[in-house]
């Protein structure tokens, strides 16, 4: 009897040891399955449009405030986490690798002057500071140069340049985003006000491949996530109109309106776009 009990015990120990050796190990997949859908995506090509089919068009500039609830997926995460990046981080990383070109804001938004990446870093606050520190060995004060990192988190707004047009071939009003420009908000040197600065322009069609390969957090479902390209093309963002093309050097709304009048003027321009589509139809 004792002999049978000893054999049974040895079998149990052998079974447990085998189970321990087959214990699952981390294989690099933080979830159920590897996320490959977004990483391998390509932007959906725009429909071909002939010049003769464009019966009417209007250039619009609008501002996206990243602090609005609907726009938070464009702002967060401020640091790379869970394979996700903020929109500004995606653009800056593409610029740093030379895969995307930045254009100066000094020529407005005409994409006429290239901006070196070093200037992009300076615009984002990646400058050098000289501080005085005490050398623990000599006891003397010495100057030390500290290199600051780009302040991605200070980009609180985006400006979009887009063209609305009526295509008679498809008999519909359509829109194409032409450019995107991050806007940095930082405190002034004396701390009395918040300064806003247009950093650089990016030609949106050139940025679409990078936007399509980076996912955006889905507030309702972690299994299905959109890309940045989806967010812009499906218009899943909140914004307000800042300017429309006009004879006065494309002056902004704030150039001829103030206070509540700027909001009313922006709504008037927005409403005109929908009314124009209705008027272009023949009944």
User: CA triplet 258, 274, 70: central angle to 5 degrees?
Assistant: 65
User: Which residues 6+ apart lie within 8 Å of 164 measured at CB?
Assistant: 57, 58, 59, 60, 173, 174, 175, 273
Q: How far apart are CA 117 and CA 105, in angstroms?
A: 14
pLDDT of residue 31: 65
Domain hosting residue 96, numbered range: 33-121+152-280
Question: pLDDT digit string (tens) for 240-258?
Answer: 999 999 999 889 999 999 9
Q: Using alpha carbons, list the distances in angstroms from residue 179 to 62, 66, 158, 166, 251.
A: 11, 17, 10, 20, 18
Q: Is residue 178 part of a domain?
A: yes
With a cut of 50, list the residues of the chain below it in pLDDT. Answer: 13, 16-20
Q: How far apart are CA 91 and CA 210, in angstroms?
A: 8
Question: pLDDT digit string (tens) for 206-243?
Answer: 999 999 999 998 888 888 888 999 999 999 999 999 99
pLDDT of residue 61: 97
pLDDT of residue 73: 93
User: CA triplet 96, 98, 101: central angle to 5 degrees?
Assistant: 95
pLDDT of residue 131: 67
Q: Is residue 146 part of a domain?
A: no
Q: Is residue 41 part of a domain?
A: yes
| Total structural domains within the chain | 1
Cα 209 to chain centroid distance, Å, stands at: 13
Q: Is residue 16 part of a domain?
A: no
Closest Cα partner for 94 from 236, 214, 216? 214
Q: Is residue 229 part of a domain?
A: yes
Q: How far apart are CA 180 and CA 99, in angstroms?
A: 16
- DSSP symbols for 201-213: EEEHHHHHHHHHT
Q: Is residue 22 part of a domain?
A: no
In the numeric block, which tokens belong to residue 149?
């990192």
Report phi then psi at 126, rounded to 5.
-85, 65
Q: How far apart are the first and last CA of the chain?
A: 99
Q: Is residue 10 part of a domain?
A: no
Q: Which residue has the tokens 């959906």?
A: 44
pLDDT of residue 11: 54
In the numeric block, which tokens belong to residue 50?
């002939």
Q: Which residue has the tokens 């300076």?
A: 122
Q: Which residue has the tokens 């606050």?
A: 125
User: Model-level pTM?
Assistant: 0.82
Q: Is residue 102 part of a domain?
A: yes
Q: Helices 87-96 and 204-212: crossing angle, nearest 10°? A: 110
pLDDT of residue 13: 47
Q: Which residue has the tokens 């250039």?
A: 59
């Amino acid at each position: 009897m004792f002999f049978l009990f000893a054999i049974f015990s040895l079998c149990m120990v052998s079974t447990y040891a085998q189970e321990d050796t087959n214990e699952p190990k981390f294989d690099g997949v933080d979830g159920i399955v590897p996320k490959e859908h977004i990483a391998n995506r390509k932007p959906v090509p725009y429909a071909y449009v002939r010049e003769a089919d464009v019966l009417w068009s209007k250039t619009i500039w609008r501002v996206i405030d990243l602090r609005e609830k609907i726009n938070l997926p464009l702002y967060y995460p401020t640091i790379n986490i869970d394979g996700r990046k903020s929109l500004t981080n995606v653009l800056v990383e593409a610029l740093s690798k030379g895969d995307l070109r930045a254009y100066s804001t000094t020529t407005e938004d005409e994409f006429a002057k290239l901006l070196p990446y070093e200037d992009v870093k300076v615009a984002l606050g990646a400058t050098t500071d000289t501080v005085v520190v005490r050398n623990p060995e000599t006891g003397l004060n010495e100057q030390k140069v500290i290199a600051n990192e780009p302040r991605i988190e200070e980009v609180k707004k985006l400006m979009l340049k887009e063209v609305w047009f009526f295509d008679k071939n498809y008999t519909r009003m359509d829109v194409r985003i032409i450019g995107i420009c991050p806007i940095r908000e930082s405190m002034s040197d004396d701390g009395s006000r918040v300064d806003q600065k247009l950093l650089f322009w990016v030609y949106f069609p050139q940025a679409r491949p990078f936007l399509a390969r980076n996912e955006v957090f889905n507030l309702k479902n972690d299994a299905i996530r959109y890309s940045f390209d989806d967010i812009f093309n499906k218009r899943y963002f909140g914004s307000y109109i800042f300017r429309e093309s006009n004879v006065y050097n494309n002056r902004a709304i704030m150039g001829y309106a103030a206070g509540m009048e700027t909001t009313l003027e922006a709504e008037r321009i927005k409403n005109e776009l929908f009314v124009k589509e209705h008027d272009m139809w023949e009944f």
